[in-house]
Structure 1
Amino acid sequence: MTRQQTAGVAVVMIGSFVAALDQTVVGTAMPTVIGELGGIDRYALVFSAYLLVSTVATPLFGRLADVYGRKPLYLGGLLVFVLGSVLAGLSGNMNELIVFRAVQGLGAGALLPVGLTIIGDLFAVRARARMQALFSTVWITSAVVGPTIGGLLTQSLSWRWAFYVNLPIGAIAAAVMIVFFHERVARHSSDIDWLGAGAFGLATLGLLLGLNGVAPALTLAGAAAAAIAFLFFEQRASSPLIDLSLVRLPAVSSGIALNAVVGIMLFAVTTFVPPFMQGVQRRLPIEAGLIVSTTSLGWSSGSIFMSVAMIRLGPRRSALIGTTAWGIGAGLLTLLEPASPLAQAVAAVVLIGFGMGLTLNPILVSVQSVVSWSRRGIATSLVQFARSLGAAVGVTALGGVLVTAMGPEAARSAGALLNPSGRTEIGPAEAAPLAAGLHAVYVVMLLVAIVGAYLASRLPARLIEPETGEIPIGDALDARPR
């Protein structure tokens, strides 16, 4: 790699590690936070405020990066994220913490999509496949070491250091980018469709709030109205937030849809496997957590394999192998019984994680390879946005499947099954409705994997060179923005 490529990769990996680490470190520190600040009734808002703002902001930052360049948007996102982290560490009550977590989410909405776009800019198509696999290891590493770091910081220093730790790491990333990374921005219209951006943000926010049970009738109706307004604005804007012609490209439309399915499967594992382990098989919470964490082992294995194999197999076959692995894993989940061995659940989640590692990189590389520099930021951000939205919609829908299959009365009493101190007095018959409900969820997951395989079959058969308008790699580096 050249010095510029090395600097770009280093900056993106450090910045992404900060954002990824934050999600796992904070989860470990939050019980101590509640003990000091109180406000357990607002516990979930600490996480949802971050996710809501980052999801809404992602497409806007992607478009801004196409207009003004990657470097200023990435640095701005990093600055906002670090500022939010410091303020969160200084929080004196839960309300302040929730607000400052939203500030962190705003910065994170730039870090991931713009970082992935920088990697797409720095490398030609074939090298891009390997680099995106390397990039994904950041999230895997954070998932493994994050809880331990969070526990050490909280126990040795204070829960506040779970947030302060982002300051020195973020400063290093910013310094490297300022000194070593330069780009030339393509000449094109700098207009931003702010009306469309506002309507898009309102539509997304309303949908996510409605799915989380916040005045659903009002927020979902508002989301629908804002979505209609967004389409109206985009069709008339000279420089739309989202060029609707993008979704007419098969690689982009299939990639966006498939990544939404990835979001469903990923969060379905972390949400609906632990209840079976604890409530039906009577395992300890730590056992359930360890089982789910093995997903990262499969994911890392799949990413490493894909970094080599995708060039030979092409995006379509690579993603088909990945979605097939999801299907086998989901099939193993449907066969779980109260007396099933632990190895069966481990094999299921490892296979699903392996499939994720095989699928994510073909999606991203396919999408980035069919668009020019001036549209790569928004295309990349739409892929990431789809995964977040798919996760939110999918988990809510699967939760509805669970409650429906269990029946309302059994669903109301399910809490006793998941309470380690009280479930020893509950017999297998009382756990049967929970087992039946989760079995229905796993069947739906299997159907989702089949849909994923269909979408994977619509990805390009081989890596495609970019459309005209691409800035040559050499020209994208070693030049000041103009």
Structure 2
Amino acid sequence: MSERKTNRPFVLAAVMLAMFMGAIEATIVSTAMPDIVAELGGFSLYSWVFSAYLLMNAATVLIYGKLSDIFGRRPVLFIGIGIFLIGSVLCGFAVSMEQLIVYRFIQGIGAGAVMPVATTIVGDIYTKEERAKVQGYLASVWGISAVSGPALGGMLVEFVSWRWVFWINVPLGVVSVMMLFLFLHEKVEKKKPEIDYIGTILFLIGISVFMYLLVEAGKTAYTVPLLAAGMLALLFFVIHERRTAVPMIPFHLWKARPILIANVVSLTTGIILIGISTFLPMYVQGLMGESATVAGFTLTAMSIGWPIASSLSGKLMMSVGYRTTTLIGGAALLAGGLMFAFMDPSFGPLWAGASSFITGVGMGLTSTAFIVSIQNAVEWHERGAATASNMFMRNIGNTIGAALLGGVLNSRLAAYLQANPEAPASLSVDSINELLGEGAAMTHSARFILNEGLTASLHAVYWVVFLFAVVSFALLLFLKKGE
């Protein structure tokens, strides 16, 4: 690493821009989804739009982390951004929900490089003493993207087209690549690439099977054989990882209690995060009757709370310690989850926004503390893999959450319609397509029944989110003072 030639302020700006592209993706697509469903149909495939992206993101994040330790951060990040932009362009041209899901797979393959490698670059060019402060700057990206992302997404949907929520990534990615090319200079001892392909394939098979079962929620006739196949794949994955010299997941890093708990809690908070960002716009638009722009601002609140808490996280760790900082964050997650669980359409978007903000505070306090702790615990040659392992666990949480909560929503809504004697036979889960659109051809009674069903289903989703907030807090209690 030749820090003498690297222009740190410009590299930090380029990294923040790349992270902004990844961060804006989370909120801007969620804001557009009700309108995408209204145009393309396929509400029953709603969660697959997120799951496809998150699955490939999770499957590739550790590979990119490992590659960045071998070939350097810059070329790996360039490849990731390039694939991400190709996927983004294709997503904007999708004419069916199935097409959009395929293109989101491509986008996810590239996205796996953006967050972990960008974060690792900062860990490389700044000292241990500087990292907590700079990680706070990186966290502010979530605030900037949140203020502009949902608002921009809402306006694009209302005044132009939802397709532009994908195309907006192109100029951001191009500028970031140009700045990194000009201002980041690395001195890397290139080694023979040793990639855990077998582990990657076993992991991909296992997680894909479980994701499919979660989304379909028992509707497939092959539940038992698929479940067995998924469990076997994950079992062989764990056995293989423990034996191979180049594991996809470096389990030896997890022997430290703070790293172990940080990674497991990142899994549970990943589920919370996707549950809110995926389904809140649907709640605000479909049930509260607000516009896409207003729905976007309710998500903005979460991402404003996130960077505010992240900037305070470094100071808190210095004054009250790592354990207390994460426990305060865990308590905020509990409070936010409870507010979502008790939310009613009559409460309006202010309640939704306040719930988001408090949840964002919890996310900011915990995630920043986790990254600083992990990066301080390892040397340069393992920092890419260690940082990626934490991102990996959050991505797995996102993936599981999108599938699990999508399955809860679909099965709860289907059960509600089946149990309601007044529901017309023509009503199904995919009738939500019309509800999220203009709904002009829908009778008043059918609209009322769908509204009630969607309300009950989303409440079930948010109770599951709260349950994971409880699990997160309980796990944080296992941290010891001084860690």
User: What is the TM-score when the length of structure 1 is the normalising length?
Assistant: 0.79
C-alpha spacing 1:331/1:46, structure 2 compared with 1 (3 Å): closer
1:94-129 deviation digits (Å, cap 9, x = unpaired): 665544432221111111111111122222233212
- Assess if the C-alpha contact under 8 Å between 2:327 and 2:476 holds in 1: yes
| Secondary structure class of the residue paired with 1:319 | helix
Query: Is residue 273 of structure 2 the alignment partner of residue 266 of structure 1?
Result: yes
Letter in 2 for 1:16: M
Map of 2:72 onto structure 1: 69
1:124-157 deviation digits (Å, cap 9, x = unpaired): 2332122222212223322332244346657777
Q: Could you tell me which of 103, 115, 124 is aligned with 2:106?
A: 103
How far apart in 1 are the matches of 2:96 and 2:347?
A: 45
Map of 2:329 onto structure 1: 322
Give runs of aligned pairs for residues 183-202 of structure 1, distance below 5 A. 183-185=186-188, 190-202=193-205
Letter in 1 for 2:131: R
Structure 1 residue 308, shift from structure 2 partner: 3.3
How far apart in 2 are the matches of 1:80 and 1:30?
A: 22
Map of 2:263 onto structure 1: 256
Letter in 1 for 2:17: I
Map of 2:386 onto structure 1: 379
- Assess if the C-alpha contact under 8 Å between 1:314 and 1:460 holds in 2: no
- Assess if the C-alpha contact under 8 Å between 2:153 and 2:296 holds in 1: no
Letter in 1 for 2:331: T
Unaligned runs of 5+ in 2: 424-428
Query: Is residue 473 of structure 2 the alignment partner of residue 453 of structure 1?
Result: yes
Structure 1 residue 324, shift from structure 2 partner: 1.0
- Assess if the C-alpha contact under 8 Å between 2:143 and 2:306 holds in 1: yes
- Assess if the C-alpha contact under 8 Å between 1:78 and 1:170 holds in 2: yes
CA RMSD of aligned residues (A): 4.1
Give runs of aligned pairs for residues 280-429 of structure 1, distance below 5 A. 283-286=288-291, 290-334=297-341, 336=343, 345-394=352-401, 396-397=403-404, 408-409=415-416, 419=435
How far apart in 2 are the matches of 1:157 and 1:221?
A: 47
Structure 1 residue 427, shift from structure 2 partner: 12
C-alpha spacing 1:44/1:318, structure 2 compared with 1 (3 Å): closer
C-alpha spacing 1:71/1:155, structure 2 compared with 1 (3 Å): same
- Assess if the C-alpha contact under 8 Å between 1:294 and 1:346 holds in 2: yes
C-alpha spacing 1:434/1:158, structure 2 compared with 1 (3 Å): closer
C-alpha spacing 1:304/1:404, structure 2 compared with 1 (3 Å): same
Map of 1:222 onto structure 2: 229
Give runs of aligned pairs for residues 436-475 of structure 1, distance below 5 A. 444-459=464-479, 461=481
How far apart in 2 are the matches of 1:125 and 1:327?
A: 31
- Assess if the C-alpha contact under 8 Å between 1:89 and 1:160 holds in 2: yes
| Secondary structure class of the residue paired with 2:7 | helix
| Secondary structure class of the residue paired with 1:294 | helix
Structure 1 residue 323, shift from structure 2 partner: 0.7
1:340-375 deviation digits (Å, cap 9, x = unpaired): 687555443322221111111011111222122222
Query: Is residue 137 of structure 2 the alignment partner of residue 130 of structure 1?
Result: no
Segment drifting more, 231-240 vs 205-214: 205-214
Map of 1:470 onto structure 2: none
Structure 1 residue 175, shift from structure 2 partner: 1.9
| Secondary structure class of the residue paired with 1:58 | helix
Query: Is residue 149 of structure 2 the alignment partner of residue 146 of structure 1?
Result: yes
Q: How many corresponding residue pairs? A: 460
Structure 1 residue 73, shift from structure 2 partner: 0.9
1:176-212 deviation digits (Å, cap 9, x = unpaired): 2122212233676642222222222222222323322
- Assess if the C-alpha contact under 8 Å between 1:117 and 1:376 holds in 2: yes
Structure 1 residue 402, shift from structure 2 partner: 7.1
Query: Is residue 182 of structure 2 the alignment partner of residue 175 of structure 1?
Result: no
- Assess if the C-alpha contact under 8 Å between 1:329 and 1:351 holds in 2: yes
Map of 1:479 onto structure 2: none
- Assess if the C-alpha contact under 8 Å between 1:57 and 1:201 holds in 2: no
Query: Is residue 219 of structure 2 the alignment partner of residue 247 of structure 1?
Result: no
The share of aligned pairs that are identical, in percent, is 33
Query: Is residue 85 of structure 2 the alignment partner of residue 82 of structure 1?
Result: yes
Segment drifting more, 181-190 vs 220-229: 181-190
Map of 1:55 onto structure 2: 58
How far apart in 2 are the matches of 1:28 and 1:346?
A: 14
- Assess if the C-alpha contact under 8 Å between 1:403 and 1:411 holds in 2: no
Letter in 2 for 1:221: A
- Assess if the C-alpha contact under 8 Å between 1:209 and 1:219 holds in 2: no
C-alpha spacing 1:181/1:461, structure 2 compared with 1 (3 Å): farther
- Assess if the C-alpha contact under 8 Å between 1:129 and 1:310 holds in 2: no
User: What is the TM-score when the length of structure 2 is the normalising length?
Assistant: 0.79
| Secondary structure class of the residue paired with 2:288 | coil
1:259-311 deviation digits (Å, cap 9, x = unpaired): 112112223334566677688xx632446654444222322321232243333
| Secondary structure class of the residue paired with 1:226 | helix
